Amino acid sequence: MSSLTFAIPDEVKSEMKKLSWINWSELANKELVEELKLQERLKEFKKIVSKSKLTKEGAKELADRVNEGMVKDLKKKGLLWMKLVIDANILFSAIIAKGRELNSKKVDLIFSKELEILAPELLLFELKNNKEKIKDISGLPDEEFEKFVEILKSRIKFVSLKYFSDKISEAKELCKQLKDVAYFALALKLNCPIWSGEKSFKEQSEIKVFNTKELLEELSESE
């Protein structure tokens, strides 16, 4: 295997040292691979467009390529990502796993480039309300706990109730507990799955629900 070295500013290196749990070499390698995959996709699309010159035939060819087979092909190359709503129990488990130095697939998935992760702003309140309990179970020192939580939060797009309020009534029909309504409503609005360890979430057929094992299996099909 070849090696590649590059210079970084001293202040960046200093900040990297503070995040000692991150394998920076592995992260850099993944970013390079992702960029190469992106360039591959752009090259493929440019080839189609240049050949067709956007004629009707070319437009049809492009549309035909972006069908289920094309999506599957791009997914295999790591060029498409899945949008999903993350449940609070997944985030809490990831924090606890970090503190206990467990090899958590939840943490890996949260940082996966294949996922676009969203959550209702309610998750921030749940995290705040359960902060001390989660911190005690995880065993993380205060400063490390806060830093890790902020890093995890940076990977999640938090959505206000106003955006999905029109789906609340429908969501109430799907879930058993009031605290879960916001997650279902957001998933309905986005037309995307939920990532949760709650078995009760699967007692409906309107929204696809992945537990961590199922999500890993879904993504592994793209490899």
Alpha carbon 22 to chain centroid distance? 17
Report pLDDT for 111. Answer: 85
- Reported as a single tens digit per residue, the pLDDT across 30-75 is 667 766 765 665 565 445 444 444 454 554 454 445 444 544 554 5
DSSP string, 53-102: TT-HHHHHHHHHHTSHHHHHHHHHTT---EEEEEPHHHHHHHHHHHHTT-
Give me the residue spans of the domains in the chain.
24-76, 82-220
- Reported as a single tens digit per residue, the pLDDT across 160-182 is 999 999 999 999 999 888 999 99
Q: Which residue has the tokens 């997914």?
A: 75
Residue 50, φ and ψ in degrees, nearest 5: -65, -35
Q: Where are the alpha helices (DSSP H) in 77-113?
A: 88-99, 105-110
Tell me the fold of 82-220.
Rossmann fold (3.40.50)
Report pLDDT for 70. Answer: 47
Q: Which of 46-55, 85-94, 136-145, 211-220 has the lowest mean pLDDT?
A: 46-55
- Judge whether 209 and 102 are in contact, CB under 8 Å: no
